Amino acid sequence: MSDNKPKNELDAADRTILRLLQQDGTLSNPKLAEQLSLSVTPCWRRLKRLEDDGYIKDYQANLDRRKLGLDVLAFVQIRFGGHGGNEPNAFEAAMCTQPQVLSCHKITGDADYLLQVVATSLDAYSDFVENVLRQMPGVASIHSSLALREVKAGSRLPV
């Protein structure tokens, strides 16, 4: 299990770095330093520390799923018949290998897991349910909710 506790307290400049990079991950160190009114070297040291301490996990571009033909967005609740054995662990490992599964969360409540899944069409989503989810040992029920309209989507954290 990884340690998610902060290693160092964040000051205002650290939080500003995190906010700015969430807005634009392509900011160069000189541009970042300029916006923070810091010189380049201290800014680079702060950025390196934020990366080393795990505040910044990676950098990526935010893509438009619809432009990529991923028109279906589903939220899927999975319930297991029992919680013994290796079935939940095997399920988690399998979900980590599925590119159409954007997120998989072990949750409280009526379901055991909540997935966020994208697909090119309802037929493609149906194939995923039939050929992947229904084939997983121990899965007792699958409840899908399809997104009709995306009101807000993002991964920017309030810093």
Q: What is the pTM of this model?
A: 0.85
CATH code of 72-146, in short, is: 3.30.70.920
Phi, psi dihedral angles at 38 (to 5 degrees): -120, 160
pLDDT tens string 137-147: 999 999 999 99
Kindly indicate the confidence band of residue 51, based on its pLDDT and cuts at 50, 70 and 90.
very high
Listed in order, the ranges of the chain carrying CATH 3.30.70.920 are 72-146
Cβ atoms within 10 Å, residue 60: 8
CATH code of 12-52, in short, is: 1.10.10.10
pLDDT tens string 32-45: 999 999 999 999 99
Within 8 A by CB and 6+ apart from 33, the residues are 39, 40, 42, 43, 44
In order of 58, 121, 142, 152, the CA distances from 17 in angstroms are 14, 39, 41, 24
